[in-house]
Amino acid sequence: MSSRFAEPTRTKSGGQGAGPDALAEMLHRGAIALLRRVNVADRETGISPPRLSALSVLVFAGPQSLASLARAEGVKPPTMSKLVAELEASGLVEKSPDPKDGRGLVIAATSKGRKIMLQGRDRRLAILKRRLALMSRADTARLEAAAPLLLELARAEGAIDTFGKDD
C-alpha cells in the first residue's frame, strides 16, 4: 500500500480495514479514475460537460424547474438559465408553463435529448462491461456485492435522485 494510505486496521467484525481516511482516499481515487475512463463516451456527444450534466438530470430525474435544476447542478440560476438556453437552441430541451405555478416554467428533455443521453449511457456501459470482462470472477463478485453500497454512498440527502432505473 502507498505511504499516502494508513496501514490496515482491524474492524469491529475482526476483518482488516484500511481505516476511514484511507478508505475515503481509495474510493475517491477509484471514482475519479473510473469517471475519466467512461468520460470518453461523453466527449463523443460533442456536448459540453455542463450541458450534458444538466441534460442528464432532466433525462434521469425528469422535468425540473430552473431553480431545481440549478440546485441539482450546484450552480446559480443565471448560469443554469444560460445552459438551458443553449440546450434549447440545440433542440435537446424544451420549456413549458409550470401547471403548479403560472409564472414558472418546467424544463424537460426532448426526445432528441433523451436519445443522445441514452446512447451515451450505452457507450459508458459498454466501456465498463469491457473492463469487467478482464477481471476474475472473484473480483467481479466482490464488485457486485459492493455496488449497492456505492450507490447508497453516492446518494446525498436532499439531492435530486437521478439513480432511477434508467441511469
Which residues, 6+ apart, have CB-to-CB distance to 8 below 8 Å? 1, 16, 17, 18, 19
How far apart (Å, rounded) are the C-alpha atoms in residues 77 and 65?
10
**pLDDT of the residue at 104:** 87
**pLDDT of the residue at 166:** 43
Length in residues, the chain: 167
Q: Which CATH code is given to the segment(s) 19-142?
A: 1.10.10.10
How far apart (Å, rounded) are the C-alpha atoms in residues 108 and 152?
26
Alpha-carbon Rg for the chain, nearest whole angstrom, is 19
Which parts of the chain register pLDDT below 70? 1-17, 156-167
Question: pTM for the complete prediction?
Answer: 0.75
**pLDDT of the residue at 101:** 82
**pLDDT of the residue at 162:** 57
How far apart (Å, rounded) are the C-alpha atoms in residues 95 and 78?
16
Phi then psi dihedrals of residue 123, to 5 deg: -65, -40
**pLDDT of the residue at 152:** 87
For the chain, which residues make up each domain, given as ranges? 19-142
